[in-house]
Amino acid sequence: MLFTLIFKVMKIIMHSRSVSDKFYLFKRLLIMKLTLFFILIFNIGAFANVFSQTTVSLNFKEADLEKVLLTIETNSSYRFVYSNNKILTGKKITIKADNENVTDVLNKILSNSGLFYIERENHLVAIAPVGTLAGTAADAQQGFKVTGLITDEGTGETLIGATVKVKGTTNAVAVDVSGKFTIDAPSANSILVVNFIGYTELEVPIGGKAVLDIKMSKVTRNLDEVVVTGFGLTTKKSTLAGAVSQLSGEDLSQSRATSASGAMVGKIAGVNFRQTNGQPGANPTIRIRNFGGQFDNPLIIIDGTRRDMDAFNALDFNDVESLNVLKDGSAAIYGFSGENGVIVVVTKKGKRGQKPTFSFDTYYGTQTYANFNKPGDIKSYVRGIVQTETYGDGRQSVASRTITPEIYQKVMNGAPGYEGFDWYKYIYKSAPQYQAKFSVSGGTENTDYYISATTLNQGVALRDFGDGFKRQNIQANFNANISKRIKFGMQMNGYWSKQSNTNVEGNDFDWQAEAPYRNLPILPGSGVAYTNPVSGPYINGNPLYPQGTSPSGQGYSYGLVSPELSGTASTTRRNVSITGTLEIDILPGLKGRMLANYSFLSNQEDSRRLSPTLYQLNTLGTIIQDGSYVPARNNEHIFRNTDNSSLQFQLEYKKSIGQHNFQLNVNQESTLSYSPFVRVTGIPPANNIPYIPNIGKDNLTSFEDNISNYTPAQGYQVRLNYDFAGKYILEAFGRYDGSSYYLPEKRWGFFPGGAIAYRISQEDFWKSSPILSTFNDFKIKASYGVLGNAFGSATDNYLTGYEYNQGSAVLNGTVITGSQILPPPSLALTWGRTYSSDVGIDMTLLNSRLNIAVDYFNRTRSGRGGRSVVTLPDLTGFNAGDENVNSDKDRGVDGSISWRDRVGEVSYGINANFSYSRSITGFRYNQVFGSDYGLFRGTQIIGTPGGTNGVDRLNGGPFQYVVIGQFQNWEQIQNYGVDQDGKGNTTQKPGDFIFKDTNGDGFITPNDQTRETYTINGANGSVPPLSFGFGFNVNYKGFDLRTDFTGGSLFTFEQTSSGFSSATGAYMREWLPNRNTSQYLFDNSSYYSDIFDRNSPIVVGKYPLLLQTNPAPNTNFNHGGWQTNITYVRVRNLQIGYTIPYSILKSLSVTNLRVYVAAQNLYTFSNMPNKIDPELANGAGGGLPSPRVLTAGVQVKF
Amino acid sequence: MKTKFLYSLFALFLINMVFIGCKRDLTVVPNSVITEESVYTDKALITSALARFYNQVNESSAPPQNNFNVGSAAWGASNATDDSFQQDPDDAQNNRGGASAQQVMFTKDRYRAFDYGLIRRLNIFLKGIRTEESKKSMTAFENAAFEGQAMFLRAWTFFHMVKTLGGLTIVNDEVFAFAGGTDATPLLLKRNSEEECYDYIIAQCDFAAAKLTNGGIATIPAGQNANAALANRWAAKMLKARAALTAASIAKWNTPGDPNLEKTDKLGIRTHGIPASKADAYYKLAFDAAKEVIDGGAYQLMTGATLTTAQQAFSNAINIKAGNTEVIWTADRQTPARNTQWTRFVGPVTHTESPEGNQLGAPAEFVESFEDRVTGAQGIKTRTISTPNLINEGGVGNAPIMYDLANPADNPFMQKDARLWGSVIWPQAVWKGSPVDLRAGEWRGEYNADGTLKVYTSAPQAKGTPGTFLTSINGPAENTSQTVNKTGFIPRKWLDEKPGASLSPNWSDMWVIRFRLAEAYAICAEAALLSTPVGGPGVGVTYINVLRRRGLLPDLSAGQFTFEQLRRELRIEFYMEDHRLWDMNRWRLADQYWDGPTSSKAVEYPNGTSYPYQLYGYTVNLGPGNPDNGKYVFERKRAFRKRANPAYFERSSYYSSMTNGWLSNNPNWDRNPGQ
């Protein structure tokens, strides 16, 4: 049968060769699906007949019976039900078994215990006091047959292995591999008791129904939940001593973001975030505890392998089982790349003994840029021009105005021909976003598998701006026990993604965000200005003839924008990563593991820029070419292949002696990476030639052949966990790490760390106290770790010789590439050390419904590179190398609180978390300050650009003038005692800002500057020091509602000035010639009361007199008048869903069907000027905000 | 038993991997790093190392002379002088309440050159090239040529450092090393006197010239030096002449005892100032070196016999590489790798492919300084009745002169020195094959009450705006746009007429000339004029007349050849070649000419020297059918915006300052005068 199938598929594939390129994507999808299908068949077929997990190894001394049974459940396919939990209490068991049959073990355990067991189908075992089982069996004969489905309330996942029992009897069944059960109850009014590990026990009255739809909810914070602490090492949450936050895949999947970092925003304590850009495929910046600079992403581990932020973002987060964030010294186990925290991703796996479960999940929606800074309308624009001409050169108005009072009136009245053109409305539209995901998972008794495929499409909400972002993912996980002692696993994930847009100047979306301001609402006509104000992208509305509408740069004319006219720019990525794992039980307690990974990423950038033509009307009214704008045609291609492989060997030894539990791991990890690329640019001979012809150098403008080096890395880790009765917990870990940055003899460093925790709640006095025992769990913990810090590079630190490709010169008619001798290396430099400490409290109280966790952390990075000891005279021509002399600090608090409960049929949860972290400039060697003020400002800091940070002071905003008001009238300026402009205030006008004379000398000088803000406009990629998130969810009778809010504070938005450069507009602050500016500025500036009379009083607005000049007056000082300290809260996700009851679905053989509507970035509450997106870092006001996404979707499982 | 054995083997394997697993060598040498030893025996790699030296000399961020690197914002010193000026965006500083940018135009440190790092790298290179291994791997000729070029580039670099900073430490061939520790005292060397520095540079030029001439034969034959990009023995001689002339000028023109110009430092070293008695010796060195270049016969001036050929020849000597017989050393360019955007920013927008042109204007008084070929008169007459001292700005009733620019006989610019054509673009002058429209507006025969012309203008439109306007898209106009001409003239030197020269990504391959033969004549003329032992005006005039003849001007007599005349000749010949600032500097005249808003001196032209002037042309429209329609009238006044902000060179700006960092790193170095 399999052969027939393969044959058919081959035929299809071969046939598809003749399919034209138009169907390329379809073909790819088809092949992908077929591959998926094969994997499926192979997996199910190959491992269907492997023996079941019916044996178990145990070693207990005087242990609770309940614990022993739980251990058997965890390590075999057996499940237990008891007539009454009390029958188990107080029974202590001693047992030792090595791969014995469960039934044999049970016989040993239960002998002499007064208990007896009976095995039913599906390895379900009922346990009851001797002599009672016969009677209960009789109960089952009579009565009422009930079938049902048991699912997780949140995910809709079937809960295989759950048990259903009729209350008061031992009559019980286990859920079958499809999640269903059938049980005979004594009557139609009996009550069923449903149990599953990790879930709240549930009592369900049958109430006469023959089909039941049972939804179970997870225990709030399951102390047995497993947290990944690195290198496949896991710890139960209850005995965790380090600072590790965890987020379940279920919480992630609520998001409508397009990337994993977008989905995790605001959901984990200790994560700071900011999304400064809303273009398709863009991601927020994620910083764990705000650690790391602009390019220092946290380390990403996916299924045990080092990956990077790009791989994380390209992952389909619906395939994630859990995210574990290592925030403190425990990240040390990953070596120096874990310095800024580690995100450990575990992808979903199938469940053992579950029949194949298919699920299909799709949504469709629209996105719009809701918080964009809108350009001014024609009335505001014309009014502003009139005011500019009225102001003239400041001494007299412009002699011949371009806008006469007659035209002004026509515009104000909206006379025909004077309506203007609304570019914002024309350019900004809505675009679709949709996703479809198909997955299958399941397992036999010895294998499990999980396979999924996803396609995602995010359009561009801008007119004619290309295809946007597309991604297709595939994820396949497979695990098997190939013998009693050997486990084998494979994880494969791959994606294809493409981000594509119209090729405009600079190739990017920022251009797009400028276009509404660059294309004017009214254009001057021929001859005298503004008598014939027609506008719009095309001449006579004919799309064949785009016209120049952007006098400040005709390339911005929107008529040119379309892939056909201007070409496209795209980035395509193809990635596959394959991990294989092997685990072997060598001796009792001793395990060996191997992990091998290979990943390949092809990153291809293609840019094809055409040279479109602008048209104009000549005086005779004929359409002619407008030669004023001749963009250059060019093509660029970059191909970069990144090849990473890694290998890990690990030994683990576990031993329990009485209540002393030990676990020791040692690990060796080595990686190898290789990343060559080729870049080529050229000019095709004509617009219609899409590639650079291979005819010598004629069409080639540059070629870059960048072969790479194989870069190895290596490290050794050791980790020891110890706990006494789960009460006193001790961890010790360390890493011996090598870095190619340092001289071989300074290369290797050892970085140890440790953590302790004390679970007071496990003490007897706590358990017996009525007050304290409301705390189910109470743990205090502390950790301290040393991490290595790699600086510079091999060429900076020890390599000598000439470096090729340093500039070039034309010699004898030929371009010769230069070589330069490397500067003397920093031989003294070695590892810097980061000391990371953390103190925290974890508690669970009120029947595990309320969870609270708070951590204080402090991180000192010492031994940072800097010049020290001796400064050499400049005549030597070189500098003494860097040494490990400087330091920096970070400190803060993070925490979370959550509540989950069920009242009747309503289950609900509330949660909140935050991360507050500030950085501090630490020690600086050899500081020289000219004065106390210099010390205060930190102006002499060597190697600190801008010099805004003083030593031992919180990092934040720059020094600047303080605004204490605005001049209201001319008299006030004349009588004002402080000279603001160095010219006796002769340049000041009503509406101008008044600065505080901080030092009281009667003049405004730089010495009056002080600090009153936080970091401005995300300088250097910074994220808000305070980030938070909160949300709630409610489930009731199949309805569910979930809302997440995210927010941030302690950062500053500055409406920036364009300064001396007119390259970027400053639409929140200035109005440049030949451009529009924001409606906000038009609405909030000062104006003459009579717009045509420069002697009329100025009506003072929030900002100074609005003039179209470059640069605008009184806008260039750094001062508070243009700044706002921002706090915002955003409705990040809102989702309402309904799950169709199983009783209706049963006949469709569908186990779960949920429909929902969801919104992302629905609304933002903030104090941003003009309510633009507070996460934007673009102080000019032209940035593209994160889109608002409204979707509707359906999830099906069968 | 068998499986147990296998497991034990596996365990051994794992234990081995985890604990003993060989430590890898993590050293990764980037592909771009070459061992030092392999460089000096491989001619391709030596050339590569040398290319980096040329690259740094050509594109240094603190450009020494002749190094305006347009493409970024650096306009070079040509813009800072009265050669030309930009509609300076800094001007708008006034609006911001800040200090006027124009007042600080000649800040002390604007052209400061200081690069001991480059000297160190040259010394490492010299050490390598002088090893036996290196010499064995190539011919003696080749080795000498490499060595000579490096020595020349070191002298060139040090010359610009000394020129802007005065006497500095001569490090010679020393490659300093620092083994660590806390004591850098042995490295704290003293400065040398300014005189020693110039002597060192002059001597180095001779050594370099000797290396570049091996057994009487040039080691870099002309055929292997396309576009004169490599420094040959004549470049070394030219540098020697220029350095010696600079030293001579300092000795001659310094005011003894002026604290802004002379200094003996705390260690008793005369770091600034050369005794006047040394002047003649330096003039002699300069004269001899320059004469050697002229007599060498390797280069010829490019001239023409007729007006058209003379005009074209002078332009070609600057702007055309092919067949150029005059240039000695250049910073060559080749697209797309090494290009310049000069044409994009300076060319008239009506003629370039980009909309950003017209950013430099040539001031009217420069155009006026050219002589009429026949009458010898300077200036452009604008009104029919000339006022005695003012050629322009006539009073009420003085009708403007109407010029028919299309007719060479009636075109005032065509009557001038032929070199004017190669220097600037005037209204209706041809560039890229067609006349350039420079038109400020229209005159309809009317006058204002104060007697000035009543003219009609329109706001200059952005390039490509449809329709016709009273004012050309090129300007000139008095507005704040950077892409509209402000003075009425556009500098023609360095403009590239090749198609695409103003287009990304190739731009223009226009070179920058460092030395051309004309400078050898100029040096001989100056040295002779100012030094009786060298020959006096009688000898000097013979050299200056060679340059005048290329403009088709009559020869001067020895009596007519004054210092003032020399200055005007140099200004005309080397316009826009970055000589002006340095000439005025070494004559110590910069502070007297560009003396800011207080100027009332009439040294070189009658209206004050620190103000640039504009000369706007208007087309005549006297009603339908009038035969004068379409002719041009001109009006002259102080340049827009520069009226309030004239050029200002403070006396303390002759030497740049030492940074606090340099001084604290070496306590044996003292501050510079005027600092």
| Option in B7, B95, B181 nearest A1113 (CB) | B95
Rg of chain A on CA atoms, in Å: 35
Two tokens, residue B434: 């067609």
User: Is A524 at the interface with chain B, CB within 8 A?
Assistant: yes
Strand ranges, E, within A542-659: 568-587, 590-609, 614-617, 623-626, 634-657
**pLDDT tens profile B281-290:** 999 999 999 9
User: Is A542 at the interface with chain B, CB within 8 A?
Assistant: no
Cis peptide before B537 (omega within 30 of 0): no
Cβ-based contacts of B183 with chain A (< 8 Å): 870
Give the pLDDT confidence score for residue B83 in this predicted structure: 78
Give the pLDDT confidence score for residue B277 in this predicted structure: 95
Query: Is-contact A625 A613, C-beta < 8 A?
Result: yes
Give the pLDDT confidence score for residue A629 in this predicted structure: 76
Strand ranges, E, within B494-597: 512-516
Cβ-based contacts of A744 with chain B (< 8 Å): 25-27
Distance CA A125, CA A22 (A): 59
Query: Helix, strand, or coil here: A774?
Result: helix
Mean pLDDT of B540-556: 96
| Contacts for A674 with CB less than 8 Å, ≥ 6 apart | A642, A643, A644, A708, A709, A710, A711
Q: Cα separations (Å) of A844 from A108, A227, A323, A759, A855?
A: 37, 17, 21, 11, 15
Distance CA B100, CA B81 (A): 17
Two tokens, residue A185: 């109850």
Nearest to residue B164, comparing CAs of B268, B285, B67?
Answer: B67
Exposure string (b/e) for A97-126, b if CB count within 10 Å is 16 or more? beebebeebbeebbeebebbbeeeebbbbb
Query: Helix, strand, or coil here: B521?
Result: helix
User: Is B222 at the interface with chain A, CB within 8 A?
Assistant: no
Count the neighbouring beta carbons within 10 Å of the beta carbon of residue A644.
21
3-state secondary structure A827-890: CCCCCEEEEEEEEEEEEEECCCCEEEEEEEEEEEEEEEEECCCCCCCHHHCCCCCCEEEEEEEE
Which residue out of B3, B8, B17, B329 would a mutagenesis test of the A interface target, given it has the greatest number of A Cβ atoms within 10 Å? B17
Q: Is A613 exposed, middle or buried (0-12, 13-18, 19+ CB in 10 A)?
A: middle
Give the pLDDT confidence score for residue A1177 in this predicted structure: 85
Two tokens, residue A827: 């031989």
Give the pLDDT confidence score for residue A221 in this predicted structure: 53
Cβ-based contacts of A814 with chain B (< 8 Å): 334
pLDDT beyond 50 at B103:
no
CA–CA min distance B626, chain A (Å): 23
**Among the listed ranges A760-769, A1166-1175, B293-302, B462-471, which one has the minimum average pLDDT value?**
B462-471
Q: Which helix (H) or strand (E) holds B564?
A: helix B563-573
Give the pLDDT confidence score for residue A1117 in this predicted structure: 65
B27/A794 CB distance under 8 A: yes
A619/B468 CB distance under 8 A: yes
Mark the ranges of chain A whose per-residue pLDDT is less than 70: 1-53, 74, 77, 82-90, 120-122, 129-143, 219-224, 230-232, 393-395, 399-400, 506-507, 524-535, 619, 868-870, 926-931, 934-936, 938-951, 1059-1063, 1110-1117
**pLDDT tens profile B203-247:** 999 999 999 998 888 888 888 999 999 999 999 999 999 999 999
3-state secondary structure A808-837: EEEECCEEEEEEEECCCCCCCCCCEEEEEE
Cβ-based contacts of A807 with chain B (< 8 Å): 51-52, 55-56, 59
Calculate ∠ Cα B398-B401-B402, nearest 5°. Answer: 140
Give the pLDDT confidence score for residue A375 in this predicted structure: 92
Give the pLDDT confidence score for residue A500 in this predicted structure: 92
CA–CA min distance B249, chain A (Å): 27
Give the pLDDT confidence score for residue B2 in this predicted structure: 65
A818/B49 CB distance under 8 A: yes
Would you state the torsion angle of the CA atoms of residues B119, B125, B129, B133, taken in this order, to the nearest 10 degrees? 150
Chain position carrying tokens 């395509």: A572
A666/B33 CB distance under 8 A: no
Give the pLDDT confidence score for residue B525 in this predicted structure: 97
Cβ-based contacts of A1114 with chain B (< 8 Å): 96-97
Two tokens, residue A613: 């033509």
Distance CA B337, CA B59 (A): 13
Nearest to residue A833, comparing CAs of A803, A860, A799?
Answer: A860
**pLDDT tens profile A863-919:** 888 776 667 889 999 888 888 888 889 999 999 999 988 887 888 999 999 999 998
Give chain B's count of helices (H) and strands (E): 20, 15
Count the neighbouring beta carbons within 10 Å of the beta carbon of residue A419.
16
CA–CA min distance A1073, chain B (Å): 9
Q: How many CA atoms lie within 13 A of A822 on its CB side?
A: 23
Two tokens, residue A860: 């000192």
Query: Helix, strand, or coil here: A1056?
Result: coil
Cβ-based contacts of B149 with chain A (< 8 Å): none
Distance CA B506, CA B498 (A): 11
B28/A709 CB distance under 8 A: yes
| Contacts for B663 with CB less than 8 Å, ≥ 6 apart | B669, B670, B671
Distance CA A1174, CA A273 (A): 12
pLDDT beyond 80 at B95:
no
Q: Which of residues 315-344 of B touch A (CB under 8 A)?
A: 332-334, 336-338
Which residue out of A402, A619, A875, A882 would a mutagenesis test of the B interface target, given it has the greatest number of B Cβ atoms within 10 Å? A875
Distance CA A1015, CA A1050 (A): 8
Give the pLDDT confidence score for residue A122 in this predicted structure: 65
Distance CA A1167, CA A1163 (A): 13
Query: Is-contact A834 A791, C-beta < 8 A?
Result: no
B11/A592 CB distance under 8 A: yes
Q: Which amino acid is at A408?
A: Y
**What is residue A904's DSSP assignment?**
T
Give the pLDDT confidence score for residue B522 in this predicted structure: 97
CA quadruple B653, B659, B660, B664: dihedral sign: negative
The distance of Cα A717 from the centroid of its chain, to the nearest Å, equals 28
User: Is A1114 at the interface with chain B, CB within 8 A?
Assistant: yes
If pLDDT is split at 50, 70 and 90, which confidence band does B129 have?
Answer: very high
In sequence order, the β-bridge partners of residue A1196 are A360, A1153
Chain position carrying tokens 């699920």: A359
Q: Is B338 exposed, middle or buried (0-12, 13-18, 19+ CB in 10 A)?
A: buried
pLDDT beyond 90 at B469:
no
Two tokens, residue A963: 């605004």
Q: Which of residues 776-835 of A touch B (CB under 8 A)?
A: 794-795, 799-824, 827-828
Residue B482 or residue A650, greater confidence = A650
Which ipTM did the prediction report?
A: 0.90
Query: Is-contact A276 A267, C-beta < 8 A?
Result: no
| Contacts for B576 with CB less than 8 Å, ≥ 6 apart | B78, B83, B84, B423, B491, B493, B494
A617/B188 CB distance under 8 A: no
Nearest to residue B262, comparing CAs of B272, B250, B270?
Answer: B272
Give the full edge-to-edge strand order of the sheet including A1103-1105: A1098-1099, A1085-1088, A1103-1105
Give the pLDDT confidence score for residue A954 in this predicted structure: 81
A873/B31 CB distance under 8 A: no
